Amino acid sequence: MKEAGHFPNVISYNTLMNGYVKARDIGQANMLYEEMKNKAIAPDCTTFNILVAGHYRYGREEDSDRLLRDLSQPGSLPVTSLYNICVSGLCWAGWLDEAMKFLEDMLEKGITPTVVAFNSIIAAYSKAGLEEKAYEAYKMMVKFGLFPSSLTCSSLIMGLSKLWKLQEARDLLYEMIEKGLPINKAAFTQLLDGYFRMGNVAGAYSLWNEMKGRGIHPDAVAFSAFINGLSIVGLLEEAYDVFLQMSEKGFVPNNFVYNSLIRGFCNSGRLQEALMLEREMARKGLLPDIFTTNIIINGLCKEGRMRSASDLFRNMHHTGLIPDIITYNTLIDGYCKAFDTVGTDEVVNKMHATGWDPDITTYNIRLHGLCTGRKMSRAVMMLEELISAGVVPDTVTYNTVMNGVCTDILERAMIVTAKLLKMAFVPNVVTANLLLSHFCKQGMPEKTIMWGQKLNEISFGFDEISIKLMDRAYRNIQHNFDVPKPPPEKSLFLDFLMYITYDYLSRNSPQKNTNQGSLKRNGNWLWWILKTCWMSFLDSSFHDVRKTLCENRTWHAKLKITQMSTHYSGNEFLKFTHQSIDQLVSEFLADATA
């Protein structure tokens, strides 16, 4: 560069310094800064921004002190510029709370921050996914009569949309329009999507029409988001009309747009129209992708057309598509719902053969199929396989198995429950609903009401299903429906499951009721329930008792019971078991409360 008669200026030095800082070579960046000073090339704000940010993140304390002394020299930079540089540097280094504290210190000293400082903090918080803090910084900014830049406004609108603060986001959008700032279509699209995700279709429609009325015309991305939102809520005719408008405006629909419509038609049971759209894609030169194929396979499975779904799956390689985990899970779900264990096993084997490991969704689908088919022994084996494979169960896993447990024979139900408790089962609203449902189904509506009232006392968040179950229980009591009741021990067992759920929800309620006892504090009641359950089925069969207890108690209890059973007759062993029941219940409770 020098040989050609060109000499580096401040822009050249800034570019080089920025490269060294990004490479974490602060030493070289410092050398360039010293070279600038020696050659009387005056650093500008960008120079100091680069160096301050680099020193905050990677530098040494003594270098930072020297740099701050240079910045503090009279006439070096205006005070506000100095503060802006420090705030930007802290943000660039990822020290966002420190940057906010620095801003607050400026205010205490009577120095009004500039738009630049606020923009830096808001943009940094938004980028870090801390939308709430970004919004707080924005509100502080407005108090000082400042308004963010177009880019910062767009970040805020997207952040507010994620926080469901759609009206605030919309107001900010209108203010941008009034101030003549350019509207970022991505922010508009994010807000539009926010309305759909909240289920506010009217809000999405009014935003769409108002933006067009203000002369802000949607782009291809906005059209795609609008079509997708309408398709999700089942407004397929409206979605297709917007699809036609998109084409009229000269925008070419892509795979995402077609997939949105195809999914909507499949979910509404209009498979033939979905298949017509798939053929239209091909005519327009758009090859169906893995998402398209998975949607069609799901639609075929929902209609019970497993042969067609399987044929489409086998033909995927002809179009260059490779089945993914969603493809396999969709087929497995279809076969499970058709109670076709052979088909399910075939897909699982193909899945393993192609290098795909089952994920938690795969296991949940299979567990649901087994529990629905009353194959609880296989479900328990599947649960153990899941744990052995290192897959972490989720609430769907627990609730699926818990639902199966409620309809299973008591002995195995208690065994599976012990396993669930050891796996740190966390009840939720679905757990409560399925247990309330079982009280209704098994002829105990009064218990549905009782537990519903107790849940209400701890401010439990009832959903629509909870309310319907309570209404059903009241109707059953009023009309005196005669539903066969379960044996007393099964009723007690359901009480036990409900109590565990209630206790957890009570202890984790936003408004904790200090009068409600925890699992450990109410041990006497649990003790009585468990002891009654155990005693009721111990009396039934000596061999079943020994098998159940020996397979599922602790090693010590297992050994002791096995030894005693070899010396005693059936009645003597039963007597021994009755005497040992307190110890066994203690172990069960210890597992549950550990």
Tens digit of pLDDT for each residue in 456-510? 887 777 888 888 888 888 888 877 766 666 666 667 777 777 777 777 777 776 5
User: Is 282 found in the same domain as 315?
Assistant: no
Q: How far is CA 422 from CA 35, 405, 549, 588, in A?
A: 66, 15, 17, 10
325 inside domain: yes
Report the SS3 class of residue 112: coil
**What is the reported pLDDT for 517?**
45
User: Is 328 found in the same domain as 271?
Assistant: no
Q: Which of 448, 482, 480 is nearest to 467 (CA)?
A: 448
Total of domains in the chain: 3
Q: Tokens representing 569?
A: 């007759």
Mean pLDDT of the region 333-359:
93
For every residue of 1-59, DSSP letters joined together read -TTTT----HHHHHHHHHHHHHTT-HHHHHHHHHHHHHTT----HHHHHHHHHHHHHT-
For the cut 90, the answer to whether the pLDDT of residue 300 exceeds it is yes
Q: Which of 329, 356, 383 finishes a domain? A: 356
What whole-number percentage of the chain has pLDDT above 70? 73
Contact yes or no for 131/162 (Cβ under 8 A) = yes
What whole-number percentage of the chain has pLDDT above 90? 20
- Cα distance between residue 445 and residue 441, in whole Å: 8
**What is the reported pLDDT for 59?**
58
Cβ atoms within 10 Å of 34's Cβ, excluding its own: 10
391 inside domain: no
User: Is 303 found in the same domain as 276?
Assistant: no
Residue-wise pLDDT for 370-403, tens only, equals 988 888 888 888 888 888 888 888 888 888 888 8
Q: How far is CA 109 from CA 82, 117, 130, 246, in A?
A: 14, 16, 27, 55
268 inside domain: yes
User: Is 278 found in the same domain as 338?
Assistant: no
371 inside domain: no
User: Is 300 found in the same domain as 284?
Assistant: no
Q: Which residue has the higher pLDDT, 462 or 341?
A: 341
Q: Which residue has the higher pLDDT, 66 or 402?
A: 402
- Cα distance between residue 501 and residue 432, in whole Å: 7
User: Is 252 found in the same domain as 222?
Assistant: yes
- Is residue 320 left, alpha or beta, with left meaning phi > 0 and alpha meaning psi from -120 to 50? left
- List % helix, strand, coil for the chain (3-state, nearest 5): 75, 0, 25
105 inside domain: no
Q: Which residues of 375-386 are buried (b: 16+ CB within 10 A; e: fewer)?
A: bbeebbebbeeb
Residue for token digits 């738009």?
115
Global pTM reads 0.66
230 inside domain: yes
- Cα distance between residue 481 and residue 477, in whole Å: 7
Q: Which of 230, 260, 288 finishes a domain? A: 288
Give the helix/strand (H/E) hosting 105.
helix 96-108
179 inside domain: no
Q: Looking at residue 228, which CATH number applies to its domain?
A: 1.25.40.10
User: Is 263 found in the same domain as 277?
Assistant: yes
**What is the reported pLDDT for 53?**
65
H helix runs in 268-321, sequence order: 271-283, 290-302, 306-314
User: Is 302 found in the same domain as 266?
Assistant: no
Q: Which residue has the higher pLDDT, 171 or 231?
A: 231
User: Is 581 found in the same domain as 545?
Assistant: yes
- Backbone dihedral angles phi then psi of residue 145, each to the nearest 5 degrees: 75, 20
Mean pLDDT of the region 196-221:
85
User: Is 300 found in the same domain as 350?
Assistant: yes
**What is the reported pLDDT for 74?**
52
Q: Which of 263, 288, 313 finishes a domain? A: 288
Q: Which of 215, 179, 213, 173 is nearest to 195 (CA)?
A: 173
- 547 pLDDT tier (thresholds 50, 70, 90): very low
Mean pLDDT of the region 118-137:
81
Cβ atoms within 10 Å of 55's Cβ, excluding its own: 23
- 295 pLDDT tier (thresholds 50, 70, 90): very high
571 inside domain: yes
Q: Give me the domain span that covers residue 314.
A: 293-356
